[in-house]
Amino acid sequence: MPTPTAIADLPRYDTIRAADVEPAITVAIAAHRAGLAALLALDGPGFATLVEPLEELNHALSRAWAPAEHLNSVLEQEGLREAYNACRMALADYNAEVGQNEALYRKLETVRERESATLGAEQKRLLDHLLRDFRLAGVALPPDRKARFRQLMQDLAREQSRFDENVLDATGAWSRQVSDEAELAGLPPLVVARAAATARDKGLQGWLFLLDQPNYSAVLAHADSAALRREFYEAWTTRASDRGPFGGRFDNGEVMERILAIRHETAGLLGFGSFAELSLATKMASSPDEVLSFIRELATSYVPAARREFAELEAFAGRALAAWDVGYYAEKLREQRHSVSQEALRPWFPLPRVLDGLFTLAQRLYGICITARPDVPTWHEDAHYYAIADEAGRELGGFYIDLHSRPGKRGGAWMGECIGRKRLGDSAAAPVAHLVCNFTPPVDGQPALLTHSDVVTLFHEFGHGLHHLLTRVDYPSLAGINGVPWDAVELPSQFMEQFAWLPEVLPLVSAHVETGEPLPTEMLARLMGSRSFHAGLVAARQLEFALFDFLLHTSYAPGRVGQTAEALAAARAEVAVVQPPEFNRFAHSFMHVFSGGYAAGYYSYKWAEVLSADAFSLFVEQGVFDREVAQRFLDCILSRGGSRDAMEAFVEFRGRRPDVHPLLWQDGVATPAAA
């Protein structure tokens, strides 16, 4: 077992400053370089004398970088962005240097050949992954092309940082002050109260709305003023572009072109016909044709359903709907049909109750105990630390949570690695994760109140966290989500979402904030009945994103301008149901694809959703809290990390290959053959 995570082992987030970042990373890189030189000087490489020490070196470097990477995403601190960017560039260059080290590559090959008969399956997989990654880093390229590859990695790191910064700055630059109370008609009281508090903090009259996800979603879904909805929609969908209120000021247009050109050239250097082919070298899907067929096959079920839903919505509204009207009338129709509203549910989902119920669920499924550790220092008053232990009381690791939106914090929700699990000889480390969301903060002394959609998001990120924390793999490169194909990495998170919809689970996470009463039975039933509401429209939008991403990275041609807009238009023509206005510049803030890990991989969400719905169907068959099934999921999926082929692991759990029908059934979408 890894050693318990002592407070001294955790980052001192209360004392880390921007000025500390560059010196720490400089020292970490130097230590890694020196350690690598010592390994290369040894004669007769073996798994224990070369591979395991290399894992140790990589773990130490990753552990040094994780706090800086995390703080850059959640904290606004003078000088931090500059320090982060400088270190990101240095690491990109150093990682390329290591990845092209022929002497190290040859020694690893020697270990694989000499010890093949005695290595375990996990050790062989680790070596295979290492050798593959060296090849994908250009180790076999001639010197001039190696140098070009390293330069491209630096350029890519710089441009992706610039993309993120432009989105963050564009988001933070816009706000909307409201002085006429009539404009607030329809908005939830919690949202209005938060805007009033924001205005007071700024010394302004009336109400001030920042451009963050909670405010944007609330205005689009609830504001009676179509003009206000349009204003927010335009500000949101033109962020970091040539259009909108700050058109040209934070424009990512040229940044996107450079990112695409770098990716395409990198793929070409490595012998791939497109970046999409390079992307699939580490995924479950085997070819671009397979991915495109997958997307289009799902579209045959979801797009017709989405068209029916949209036609019904326009009939309900009594007019043609613009993009900024859809959420508003959809919420009205949901309320009429299911008598349930996301905002009306908030009082039943106070954050402390949701967390207690979520932790209780994890204990019932996997026998783990989660305990708050208020003595652990964090980076912000919103952040907290929890320790996680097994049934015998042995500490397995821990996680930080930071769940509220605030200025300077990156939007969205994610799980990030703080410390990876390892057990190498006498050296051990327990895993630690960061779980980050952007929920509406507490207002007027109440605890934060979540919508049910927020609850689903929290379950999703917690699922990623369990994947990281419950791993039993000893080698850091294969532990947790490491080494897992990107189109399988969403399986545990989307699997965990399923529990947030169950009548057996909802009472665990709900209790009225004032009375403590459970969610009324009839309200629970209405909520469950609304699960497949507009599932077609939701899926069609995800397929639009996935098809755009994949078309862009499959067909990119160097030197031809306007390809991003062309790919987006082609995707929309094929699968989109709600056509956006001309000024929409969604791609300019699509961080998943342009600066995150989902380039030529956004299809992974739907791919893993098929896996998760099918995996969860076994719980439906056997029982929601069935410990035997939960133990199988833990043994086959959560604990295995990247130590086994993802499809083999799924088949071991489910007893067969994945079936798309549980997902279609869950969403209330019939296949054409079944219609």
Which of 516, 526, 505, 515 is CA-nearest to residue 462? 505
Give the whole-angstrom CA distance, residue 569 versus residue 522: 44
* Amino acid at residue number 220: L
Per-residue model confidence as pLDDT tens digits over 305-329: 999 999 999 999 999 999 999 999 9
pLDDT at 157 over 90: yes
Catalytic residue selected from 461, 490, 497, 544: 461
What are the two backbone dihedrals, phi and then psi, of residue 471, each rounded to the nearest 5 degrees? Answer: -65, 145
Neighbours of 336 (CB within 10 A): 9
Residue in the structure block whose two tokens are 């652990």: 376
Per-residue model confidence as pLDDT tens digits over 570-604: 999 999 999 999 999 999 999 999 998 899 999 99
Q: How much is the mean pLDDT over the chain?
A: 95
Secondary structure (3-state) at 330: helix
Q: How confident is the model at residue 675 (pLDDT cuts 50, 70, 90)?
A: very low
Inter-residue contact 488 to 284 (CB < 8 Å): yes
Structure tokens of 572? 């929309």
Q: Which residues contact 137 (CB under 8 A, 6 or more apart)?
A: 95, 96, 98, 99, 100, 149
Give the whole-angstrom CA distance, residue 243 versus residue 232: 14
Give the whole-angstrom CA distance, residue 473 versus residue 641: 7
- pTM, to two decimals: 0.94
Which of 249, 243, 76 is CA-nearest to residue 170? 249
- What end-to-end distance do the CA atoms of the chain give, in Å? 53
186-188-193-199 Cα dihedral, nearest 10 degrees: -50
* Amino acid at residue number 436: V
Q: How confident is the model at residue 44 (pLDDT cuts 50, 70, 90)?
A: confident
Inter-residue contact 418 to 434 (CB < 8 Å): yes
Beta bridge pairs of residue 384:
401
Give the whole-angstrom CA distance, residue 663 versus residue 620: 13
Per-residue model confidence as pLDDT tens digits over 620-671: 899 889 999 999 999 999 999 999 999 999 999 999 999 999 999 999 996 5
At the second CATH level, the architecture of 11-164 is: Orthogonal Bundle (1.10)
Neighbours of 557 (CB within 10 A): 9
Per-residue model confidence as pLDDT tens digits over 270-304: 999 999 999 999 999 999 999 999 999 999 999 99
Helices 143-173/80-99 angle, 10° precision = 160
Burial 484-497 (b: 16+ CB within 10 A, else e): bbbbbbbbbbbbbb
Q: For 498, which DSSP code?
A: G
Neighbours of 591 (CB within 10 A): 18
- The dihedral of CA 162, 164, 169, 175: what is its sign? positive
Per-residue model confidence as pLDDT tens digits over 178-235: 999 999 999 999 999 999 999 999 999 999 999 999 999 999 999 999 999 999 999 9
Secondary structure (3-state) at 404: strand
Where are the domains positioned within the chain?
A: 11-164, 174-237, 271-340+535-601
Give the whole-angstrom CA distance, residue 431 versus residue 420: 5
Burial 31-40 (b: 16+ CB within 10 A, else e): ebeebbeebe
Q: How confident is the model at residue 175 (pLDDT cuts 50, 70, 90)?
A: very high
pLDDT at 3 over 90: no
Average the pLDDT over 433-445 and give the result: 94
DSSP string for 21-79: HHHHHHHHHHHHHHHHHHHHTSSS--IIIIIHHHHHHHHHHHHHHHHHHHHHHH---TT
Q: Which residues contact 389 (CB under 8 A, 6 or more apart)?
A: 368, 369, 370, 371, 395, 396
Per-residue model confidence as pLDDT tens digits over 344-363: 999 999 999 999 999 999 99
DSSP string for 110-176: HHHHHSTTT--HHHHHHHHHHHHHHHHTTTTS-HHHHHHHHHHHHHHHHHHHHHHHHHHHHHHH-EE
Structure tokens of 37? 């030189």
Active-site residue, 231 included: no
Give the whole-angstrom CA distance, residue 143 versus residue 619: 54
DSSP string for 172-190: HH-EEEE--GGGGTT--HH
